[in-house]
């Protein structure tokens, strides 16, 4: 917990230093849009957009994994039920030692 707090403070301090050192305005033109903003703001905005795109790209795989896990759990429950049934059937079919008549060799 304390390590993550210290790490968060270091990253935050680095972001503040980065923003203070990159205050000059730049203009970004994309198709018909033109944005003028401080360099630090544009870089941080680009970073956030990249993170969001990465998260969106992982969603289909996560959904597929969730379906696979659901199917495997369902199969596992079914196999456990079959194993329990087989064990009960086997224990009913196998006589106890008291049920076996003893042979007298007299």
Three-state DSSP string of 36-85: EEEHHHHHHHHHHHHHHHHHHHHHHHHHHHHHHHHHHHHHHHHHHHHHHH
- In angstroms, the first-to-last Cα distance of the chain is 78
Length of the chain: 106
Q: What is the pLDDT of residue 89?
A: 80
Q: What is the pLDDT of residue 1?
A: 78
Return all residues near 26 (Cβ < 8 A) that are at least 6 apart. 36, 37, 38, 39, 42
Q: What is the pLDDT of residue 87?
A: 84
Question: From first to last of its 106 residues, what are the pLDDT tens digits of the chain?
Answer: 788 889 988 988 888 888 888 788 989 888 988 989 988 888 888 889 999 999 999 999 999 999 999 999 999 999 999 988 888 887 777 666 555 566 666 5
Q: What is the pLDDT of residue 18?
A: 82
């Amino acid at each position: 917990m304390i390590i993550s707090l210290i790490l968060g403070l270091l990253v935050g301090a680095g972001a503040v230093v980065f923003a203070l050192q990159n205050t000059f305005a730049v203009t970004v033109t994309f198709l018909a849009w033109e944005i003028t903003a401080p360099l630090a703001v544009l870089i941080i905005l680009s970073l956030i957009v990249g993170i969001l795109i990465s998260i969106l790209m992982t969603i289909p795989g996560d959904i597929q994994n969730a379906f696979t896990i659901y199917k495997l759990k369902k199969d596992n429950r079914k196999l456990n039920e079959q194993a329990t049934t087989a064990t009960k059937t086997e224990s009913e079919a196998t006589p106890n030692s008291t049920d076996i008549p003893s042979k007298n060799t007299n």
